[in-house]
Structure 1
Amino acid sequence: MDMPTYDIAISGAGPAGSALALALARKSPRPERIALIGRRFAASRGPAAEKAGMAIDPRTLALNHGSRILLEQLAAWPAASADIRTVHVSQAGRLGRSLIRYDELGVPRLGSVVGYDDLLYSLHAALLDSGVSLIEATPTQTLAAGQVEFDLGSSRLRSALAVQSDGIRPQGIERRYRQSAVLATVRALRPRQAWAFERFTRNGPLAILPHPHGDDLYGVVWCCPPAEAERIRSLDDTDFARALYAMFGSRLGHFQPLGERHVFPLSMHAGPSLINARCVAVGNAAQTLHPVAGQGLNLGLRDVAQLAQALSPWLARPESDPAGLLAQFARQRRPDRWLTAGITDFLPRVFATGNPLVEHAGGLALLALDILPPLRDPLARHLLQGLRT
């Protein structure tokens, strides 16, 4: 039997890989020659099966304005979302805070919060109507004779190009933050509609985000040393609510915890976008970031948008050599990737030094950002949409 051959095979059907498959399908005259390889496809089982037979991922995702536009263009925006129109940035125990408001930047919202499972379901539902070939497998790949071959276990396939989007940590720059993130959902006694909060503490940043499934619900991302994270996770609901209130303050009133709490270790990994002449990496396969400012998936979706644009002429002539287009893609992505990685690496470390002089300087910086738009707006716009070329 002949080995199936595709123009592009994408390894990894998470949010970045799925969005890339949809974006490429819109530019390809033969979307069936795009293969998306993943362990499972949520929409093929239906939402009832998802809830009954599979654990719901605890994560919520903060998607910025640019990411929302992309997903809406791909007809993959989830039904449930919570707008962010104001971001409040502060530092525990020190003066100084900054507000970033949507109307100052001329956009309808700064971003939106969605559930990870909700986003994945909407992406996979859109894929069912896209013409893309969906293959359930966990592949390994090799480069052979100008093409990429994938071993799917019981079968093999071949493609002219390959994209890694499987979440395997890239090889290159690595930083261990000695922090873990405690993820939780809480109900607030005094909710503030469309407000998100980023609070820097000596142990790490604390984010409280509006939740897509209730106006008085918030997603909590509490970063702290691993032993402290495990202690916080194991607190009973009353003690957890008290600890969160003590760290965050009274802006939202008292909290009522809901559901389980989860802990994830934090680290930064960054590697090349261009793996070889026939393979590129996007999303978490290219870079994994600290969750401060919620930039990880937003950066990955910018990878997706730029790669789909770069490959648009090649999709019309897949027999041509794509090396130049892939190299150009890697060059164009470099400034945005390294600037975003630099910001998300710097912020959680500088505010957690425990040095009073640094903390006071951080408070002054937040105050300066608040009262001087020429300082605040470039940072806000980068977080809103990144560097685009």
Structure 2
Amino acid sequence: MPRGTPGPGPAPTYRGTPSIVVAGGGSAGHIEPALAVADAIRRLAPGATVTALGTEKGLDTQLIPARGYPLELIPPVPLPRKPTADLLKLPGNVRGAVKRVREVLMSVNADVVVGFGGFVSLPAYLGARGRTPIVVHEANARAGLANKVGARFAKAVAVAVPGTGLAHEQVVGMPLRRSITGLDRAALRGQARQHFGLPPGGPVLLVFGGSQGARTLNQAVAAALPGLVDAGVAVLHAHGRTGEPAPPMPGYRPLPYIERMDLAYAAADVVLGRCGMTTVAELTAVGLPAVYVPLPHGNGEQALNARPIVDNGGGVLVPDEELTGDRALSELMPLLTDPGRALKMGRRARAAGHGDADERMARIVLDVIG
């Protein structure tokens, strides 16, 4: 299959009732793209049935049934990153999970298995190998172990950003739910600001660093807040369930967690945040300029996630160890005080994104079946 981005085309139509199994359990970063693709498949092939694989651990039992998809549980197969006692248990755990996957594939008469990485995908790929076609989606700039295995015998390999190292990759972007890709920020701006108790006028900075927050971001916001408030900037700050908010100030709205991210995006003019792939994809889909601060841990994939957006002029990248209150002000104030500049950067961010990744991915899946 040629490398590159599949172009738009007419939606495939199917007279039958294809059966698709998606494997994206564990974290929201795996579940959300899987469900976004499942939604797109239902739109393009109304007769299709979609079954999700997951485990009792993680968010599977909370998120998947709530979206209306049947969930089939398999034994969890944690993938040790270092040599530990768990590594010795891996072969037995994999065998049990693979057996259960094959039972599910037979019971739903699966036509294809679509994996999104993580510990649910590995047994899904092994259970489907040689029996059911496989499609792989890799969300990060550097592929994980499960997708490295699955890509070896997959019919199609789709990626969010180029250069993952997987053979025959097709760049489709990160599949997102339609409440984000179809968001009309301008139309919702007043409602969104009222929802969060923000001023109806003036610039708004949105700060978030994941469900647990980010200490570096929280400390930088606390240090920069007086300067932001003095300049008439309101701040919507998701400090995390375990993080500390800044001291109270006028125009500062701290929250442990933001449930309505669509409204948060509609209320905001500029973002300060991490650069996990879902965050980067959502910000480009809604056209928000951002100062990205990648996690200092791991293999550096967060910086790689944001690099195409930054190179296109849609954002700024600041290393975690360099983010102070003064640095935050120096990067943010030119955007927050110049609406034209922020709008231009937001347009460049949108141009670098893939707002139709869910349907691109769905078409690949349906084409494999067809």
TM over 0.5: no
* Greater RCO, 1 or 2 (C-alpha within 8 Å, sep 6+): 1
- Structure with the higher strand share, 1 or 2: 1
- TM-score, normalised by the number of residues in structure 2: 0.34
